[in-house]
Structure 1
Amino acid sequence: MMIGRRSVVALGIGSVATAISHRAFAGGDDLLDTAYINAKVWTGAGPNVRTDAIGVKGDRIAAIGADAVRARTGKRTRIVDLQGAFVTPGFIDPHVHFVKASIMMSQASLRDAANPKEFVERVAAAAKALPKGQWLEGGNWDQDRWGGEMPHRKWIDAVTPDTPVAVIRYDLHMLLLNSLALKLVGIDRNSVAPPGGVIERDADGEPTGIVKDASKDMVLRAIGQKTDAQIDAAARNGIALALSKGVTQVHPTEKELVSFDCTRRLHARGEIGIRFRHYLPLQDWEAQTALIAREGRGDDWVHWGGCKVAFDGSLGSRTAKFYEPYHDDPTTRGIIVTDPVDLRRWIAGADKAGLQVTTHAIGDEANDIVLDTLAAVAAANGPRDRRFRVEHVQHMKPHAIPRFKAQNVIASVQPYHAIDDGRWAVRRIGEKRLETSFAFGSLVRSGAHVCMGSDWPVAPMDPFTGLDAAVNRETLDDKHPDGWHPEQRVTLAQALRCYTHEGAYAAFHDGKTGVIAPGHFADFAVMDQDLFAIDSHLLKRTTVLRTVVGGVQRFG
């Protein structure tokens, strides 16, 4: 039968659309629901694999290429002319603190406070806007913006007499509390930090207000959670932000179940929008095993079956675990957050139960201990497709780099951390150790699986800033125009693969997402410039025009 003219949803009607609109076709069961035509598509199937059209049926890609798409276009097919726009697989962010970051979107921001005076002024303004007695949270402060002096409770006590303050450093490893907050949570000069935690004290033995790692978590538990309604509202904003950046899948890697519970609620109400692969607390692996026995592992929108644990702290907080002392504090080599005996026991149990395990490791000694533990567990439990992951992998001895490929351990890294920490990292650990820090290029060239993400809210949930960081490595202070340790740069195609296919592989989602190919979910991002055709310094200026997840346009 002849097919008449049909509507074209687009910015205009191109010649391909006109040809399709007058085409005759028989066999309605094979017709596409939507045909995206006149596009510049990087499929992710290889560094230079391109096509020009995507055909969608249901929630899957059914055809790629103008001829294949045209052959399955019928009168009910919705045609979208992309007018030459650039398309990639949907970006996957393998490391986010999703609900925490979503809530922080509406909290006080101290990230760009340039000096202590501005820091105090912002805290004062935020406290003034809150009801008396309500906790002031948020923060994301960065003391290295004003030379490295740590904030002190005395800075803010006078401007927050009735407001308990617990504002977090941007690495999420330490809090600043005012005196009222210290009193409310019961921290004084006699308090003992829990294992894996630090309570900083002044020369008189009094708490300065700075608490780190396990001590920080103790404070957050005392503050308590938001209501479900507040959490869900914040998460909707986080989902909207992700979609506006072309992000179609995220992996929350959190100590709490807040994101897990929230996304299950949103999914039940049909409000999910992007895909979630959850990594639940490793110490609770038996509870997750019982959950899987009762309910399975979720579905392709909200999925679980992975565990995460933090082994050490962060470089900025001087709690990442190194072999040698910190240059700017020789009294410490960092801390171990999780006892190595517990680490081995928990990973062994979770792995034997068929769960995937990922471990936070930043310092060089921490990475070695974690890799040793993963090797021992794999040997004891026997061969299987386990896909162990290590989160951050920031600082390594040279011998550790080839171990990721050799042990088939995934390196889950965050390129933005390199250009951020690169402003001041030399003060912490000196130049020598930085030669194999943030070693993205070495890891990729070794053949290891490397996925790239943000660690939102530690860094922006914006793949374009991450791509820029991976490709250019220019630090945020503009002091390394040729790249900070430029030998660790990667190509754009390598970085894009790390943000797409490798993110899918890291979640056992390869074959479903991460590549634009028939049979995969129709998850892709449309943007205003061809990333391969522009100067790499313009990557950050990319605008997402539309984001499609599961065959549905959810942004743009």
Structure 2
Amino acid sequence: MSISRRDLLAGGAGGVALALMSARGWAKGPALDTAYVNALVWTGQGTPALSAIGIAGGRIAALGSAAVKAHMTKATRVVDLGGAFVMPGFIDCHTHFLIGSDLLTQPNLREAKSPQEFARIVGEAARQIKPGQWVQGGSWDAELWGGALPDRSWMDPVTPDTPVAVQRLDLHMLALNGAALRAAGIDRNTPDVPGGVIVRDKDGNPTGILKDAAMDLAKRAIPAPTEADREGAVRKGIAHGLSKGVTQVHTTELDWMTHDALRRLRAKGETDMRFYSFLPLQDWAKVKALVDAEGRGDDWVRWGGLKLQYDGSLGSRTAMFYQAYDDAPGNSGMPIHTLADVQQWTNDADAAGLQITIHAIGDKANDEALDIFAAAAAKNGARDRRFRIEHAQHLAPAAIPRFAKQQVIASMQPYHAIDDGRWAIQRVGTERLKGTYAFKSLLDAGAKVAFGSDWPVAPLDPLTGVAAAVLRQTIDGANPGGWLPDQKLTMAQALHAYTATNAFAGFQDDRVGRIAPGMLADFVVMDANLFAIDPARTGATKILKTIVNGTERFSA
């Protein structure tokens, strides 16, 4: 709520002694546009303390009751937070934002607990769309019904003429029905794609499952949405993220669709949430030309980062390991691109001064990604690169100290740990789990660990990620003491990974990630002190306000 100057003089700021200053006092510093008072502030360091925050021109101009008082004017808007908890805005350093935004209005197959429920949800979605449209969406998880992958025979009876292409929750598999296979021209004679798999039955006919690079066979057949459709979806995603306290996301994409939509939105005004756009590593020359011609964007929409997907996923059994999967003898995963190509692209992009991140999940993929980065650094000489590995999910013991030694950021997703923890042992066994989601081991070794969601693979909700990092309780309730509990983090470590480290991972540590004078005024207000409550209550904490650039973009 806002309070008047009369209320302020009468002590309406909830016990914070703020007094009006003379005109001479106001002139000593920037006049405040807004003063947030009676706040329990965690600046990103130390412990929360009762304080006040003053904002001017979209930045934090004053911190602390005395400093805020000294910069207030008659025009300053005063907001009493009633002792609410305030911390730096959450930054999610790994999202597929356009896909996630689309899924907000598409069928959610994460609710399907059986093949029958899967078919029912798909059939209902087909009845609600116009002729010629495809049923998309997904987030299905075969582990919820015993592990059998969806089959076209599940969907064909309820969608005889409507094409269906729904994604596994990890975005590494598509399930197609017969109509979609026909529209994409996929049949028993279609060869497998390098870096991908067309799953076939015993007679060689496609079952409808496409893995990794093979998904492109279907995606190119799906009618493209209009620019207006994409912009509208992103707007919905922004509103959703702001309601969860997210002030910035990194869009780690393998195409230009999200980037182009964001640039169109930025041309129309502020985007309300900040974005750092990663583009395909293979397109480094195009990105370099864009940077040379137009710079790297602004604090609303930035670019200059590149991403490459090197292997697949654990759930799809396409993550690249040294040894075969325990539940799939003879299969140790696969690279999406050749090592030689990735090394060349990385060398060239690094020489061009662009930031690079590589998706690596299996232990072999992570080792090779670290080798690629080491070779590029040796070739191109010292500079502030901030190389990243997205996921860094399953690490050989020798890989853990390499992150700190090579100054490679581990960009990880804590919710995946409590999701995969239900069944990961079936894939890789006990021994290989020792380097799985090794948050604490990486931090103890001196590495920087940045956190994100991988939305829509996991919820765009940092508080669920924080709880996952601190508790490591799997979502099936089977590990109340934590799955691989030696890797639990403290609350401060988890919050730091969602704020200051993510700012560093995006070359913005001089502007966001902390509450301090001179920083951009991005912060979130909650109804509970995360340092004082039972960590089990973290996910139930309510977001009251999300402030970006000094403006309230969400208010409960």
**TM-score (ref. length: structure 2):** 0.97
Structure 1 CA distance for aligned equivalents of residues 450 and 489 of structure 2: 13
SS of the residue 1:108 aligns to: coil
Unpaired runs of 5+ in structure 1? Answer: none
Read off the aligned partner of 1:520 and give its amino acid letter: M
- Give the superposition deviation at 1:271: 4.5
With over 3 angstroms needed to count, the CA separation of the structure-2 counterparts of 1:455 and 1:272, relative to structure 1, is same
Gaps of 5+ in 2: none
Q: Does 1:71 align with 2:75?
A: no
Distance in structure 1 (CA, Å) of the matches to 2:496 and 2:475: 24
**Mapped partners of 2:174, 2:381: distance in 1:** 42
Q: Does 1:38 align with 2:50?
A: no
Aligned to 2:403: 404
How far 1:218 sits from its partner (Å)? 2.8
User: Residues 384, 22 of structure 1: CA spacing in aligned structure 2 closer, same or farther, 3 A cutoff?
Assistant: closer
Residue 20 of structure 1: how far off its partner (Å): 3.0
Deviation at 1:128, TM superposition (A): 1.3
Q: Distance in 1 between matches of 2:349 and 2:7?
A: 51
Name the stretch that deviates more: 120-129 or 526-535.
120-129
Q: Say if 1:25 and 1:72, in contact at 8 Å, map to a contact too.
A: no
Total equivalences in the alignment: 549
Q: Distance in 2 between matches of 1:22 and 1:334?
A: 67
Q: Distance in 2 between matches of 1:49 and 1:346?
A: 45
Give yes or no for contact 1:522–1:551 (8 Å, CA) kept in 2: yes
Q: Is the 8 A contact 1:197 1:211 kept in 2?
A: yes
Distance 1:8 1:362 in 2: 56
Cα deviation digits, residues 464-515 of structure 1 (max 9, x gap): 0000000000001000000000000000000000000000000000010000
2:22 corresponds, among 24, 32, 42, to 24
1:300 maps to what in 2?
299
Equivalent-residue separation in structure 2 for 1:472 and 1:119 (angstroms): 31
User: How far is the alpha carbon of 1:267 from its aligned partner?
Assistant: 1.0
> Hey, which bits of structure 1, 4+ residues long, moved more than 6 A?
none
User: 1:181: which partner in 2?
Assistant: 180
Contact 2:20 2:72 (C-alpha < 8 Å) held by counterparts: no
Equivalent residue for 1:353? 352
Counterpart of 2:530 in structure 1 is 531
Report the equivalent of 2:369: 370
Does residue 323 of structure 2 align to residue 320 of structure 1?
A: no
Report if aligned partners of 2:18, 2:65 keep a CA contact under 8 Å in 1. no
Distance 1:75 1:20, change over 3 A: farther
In angstroms, what is the RMSD of aligned CA positions?
A: 1.5
Aligned partners of 2:98 and 2:258 also within 8 Å: yes
> How far does residue 13 in structure 1 lie from its aligned partner after superposition?
2.7
Q: TM-score, normalised by structure 1?
A: 0.97
Secondary structure of 1:38's aligned partner: strand
Q: Distance in 2 between matches of 1:186 and 1:5?
A: 67
Query: Closer, same or farther in 2 for the Cα pair 1:369/1:347, shift >3 Å?
Result: same
Output the CA distance in 2 between the equivalents of 1:209 and 1:90: 42
Q: Which residue of the partner structure matches residue 150 of structure 2?
A: 151
Measure the CA separation in 2 of the matches of 1:436 and 1:50: 37
Question: What's the secondary structure of 2:552's corresponding residue?
Answer: strand
- CA deviation string 1:137-159 (max 9, x = no partner): 00110000011111111111111
How far 1:436 sits from its partner (Å)? 1.1
Q: 1:71 to 1:431 in 2, by over 3 A?
A: same
Q: CA deviation at 1:224?
A: 3.7
Shift of 1:104: 1.1
- Between the aligned partners of 1:363 and 1:82, the Cα distance in structure 2 is 46
Q: Deviations over 1:298-356 (max 9, x none)?
A: 11111011100000000000000001111111121011001111100000000000000
Identity of aligned residues (%): 55
Cα distance change on mapping 1:224 and 1:352 into 2, 3 Å: farther
**Aligned mates of 1:428, 1:361 — CA distance in 2:** 17
Deviation of 1:75 (Å): 1.0
Q: Distance in 1 between matches of 2:181 and 2:417?
A: 33
1:16 positional shift:
4.7
Q: Indicate conservation of the 8 Å contact 2:14/2:80, yes or no.
A: no
Offset, 1:78: 0.8
- 1:182-216 Cα deviation digits (max 9, x unpaired): 11101111111221110000111110100010011
Task: Describe the superposition over 1:349-408 as per-residue Cα deviations: whole angstroms up to 9, x where unpaired.
Answer: 000000000000000000001001100110111000000000001001111011100000
